[in-house]
Structure 1
Amino acid sequence: MNDGTTGGTAAGTRDASAPIRVVVVDDQPLIRAGFAMVLAAQSDIEVVGEAENGADALTLLAGTEADVVIMDIRMPVMDGVEATAQLGRLRGAPRVLVLTTFDTDEDAFAALQAGASGFLLKNTPPEEVVTAIRVVAAGESVVAPRVTRQLLDRFAGKLAPSPRHDERLDLLTAREQDVLGLIAEGLSNSEIAARLFIAEATVKTHFGKILTKLDLRDRVQAVIFAYDAGLVSPAG
């Protein structure tokens, strides 16, 4: 799911020895039940709640600690994009995996822009869902950088009309800006290492510093930041 490209992780406080606490949000009871059944079979994952729309999810999460939320996008009352955006404003917010039908649709892009750590197709095999939850709980993303870039290129009009220099870029060293730019172009850690003639471990170190300095959670957010800050431009 993560295509081997996630590399660095954002800082987190989750106890790695504790079960990953998951909330499932979907307006279809059968889908919620299916996820609950699959996840219940995992010794390191615990479903701590379910909700049928974004508003109910926010109410639930106000009193329930969770590490990962599996969030459907199209739901009544409040959709998954708005719920994801509101969750992102909370301190210690759980990471969000959104459910979508196509991997390049506008909903997927909107969810990533709202702060989701990635998305899953609704026909994703159960074992990949489990892997994705573990990856996201570890602070990584489950969208390959190339897919993120394709979404950004396709929906460039949804961002600022003309990217401007973001002062936060000045917090990065020249090398860190190089790494961020190549991440945004869709290169993996190994490809960046080869391009810059440095070790892959060094790329991971640079990326970790980028996340910390820019207060970003994962690779997906880093790509969106680079685009929105004018470090990279849409294709075509």
Structure 2
Amino acid sequence: MVVDDHPMWRDAVERDLQAAGLEVVGVAANGQEALARFPAARPNVVVLDLQIPAPNGVEVTAEIVRQDPSVRVLILSASGEQSDVLDAVKAGATGYLVKSASREELLTAVRRVSQGDTVFTPGLAGLVLGEYRRLSDGPEKTDDGTPQLTERETEVLKMVAKGMSYKQIAERLVLSHRTVQNHVQNTLRKLQLHNRVQLTRYAIEQGLDADDD
């Protein structure tokens, strides 16, 4: 399902997906249309712009994930702002691309997200990883009840930030695909539990490239 309020962009994405052999089961121009059409369309993946007429992309993400936890949301936005990326992840998005991405990057991201991978534009992955690291390593990690990350979760997420697929990570670490997926989902859940004000402040301080590898 493709959701974007710009007809030319929406049509182009739909054509690219169909040309690649993917079935587009629905399109929408705003949040209201998206929520109205989602139950009947039952898409596996929703390619969603954030800046759409109300409800916005973050609110749509939260609602459709609530309705169907198995759905995969890939944000395709002109914005690479820290707050937008983190809000989308906290709402349940498992992918985030900026609109400067190429056609091939979009198609690859849709396929990977549909398989359960978490996909970010590289610089944005560093931002999210930076917050995971702070949760894992920060001295105040136990003061506010924030769940800590395990060493393995941190290791997996470093690889996610580098753009590696779950399959590649599983092979590198000699783990099953399901185990890798569970590590990432557990960490996303932990991030959602964190105080948003502290999260946003830290993200702004760190910038987008928090990965020091």
What is the TM-score with the length of structure 1 in the denominator? Answer: 0.64
Q: Secondary structure at the match of 1:70?
A: strand
Q: Secondary structure at the match of 1:35?
A: helix
Give the alignment's Cα RMSD to 1 decimal.
Answer: 3.5
Q: How far off is 1:67 after superposition?
A: 0.7
Q: Is the 8 A contact 1:163 1:227 kept in 2?
A: no
After TM superposition, list the pairs within 5 Å mapping 1:39-188 onto structure 2.
Answer: 39-43=17-21, 45-143=22-120, 145-150=125-130, 163-166=144-147, 177-184=150-157, 186-187=158-159
Q: Is the 8 A contact 2:3 2:29 kept in 1?
A: yes
- 1:99-154 CA-to-partner distances (Å, cap 9, x unmatched) read 22243431121001100011111111111101100000111011255342246689
CA distance in 2 between partners of 1:138 and 1:131 (Å) = 11
**Which residue is 1:200 aligned to?**
172
CA distance in 1 between partners of 2:2 and 2:192 (Å) = 31
**Structure 1 runs not aligned, ≥5 long:** 1-22, 155-159, 170-175, 191-198, 213-217
Q: Secondary structure at the match of 1:69?
A: strand
Q: How many residues align?
A: 181
Letter in 1 for 2:7: P
Q: Secondary structure at the match of 2:20?
A: coil
- Say if 1:75 and 1:139 are closer, same or farther in 2 by CA, change over 3 A: same
Q: Secondary structure at the match of 2:41?
A: coil
Q: How far off is 1:87 after superposition?
A: 0.9
Q: Is the 8 A contact 2:82 2:127 kept in 1?
A: no
- Say if 1:92 and 1:225 are closer, same or farther in 2 by CA, change over 3 A: closer
* Higher RCO (C-alpha under 8 Å, 6+ residues apart): 1
Structure ranking higher in helix proportion: 2
**Structure 2 runs not aligned, ≥5 long:** 135-140, 163-170, 207-213
CA distance in 1 between partners of 2:5 and 2:131 (Å) = 26
Letter in 2 for 1:181: T
Q: Is the 8 A contact 1:117 1:141 kept in 2?
A: yes
2:46 equivalent to 1:34: no
CA distance in 2 between partners of 1:87 and 1:40 (Å) = 23
CA distance in 2 between partners of 1:209 and 1:179 (Å) = 11
Q: Is the 8 A contact 1:100 1:108 kept in 2?
A: no
Q: Secondary structure at the match of 2:43?
A: coil
Q: Secondary structure at the match of 1:97?
A: strand
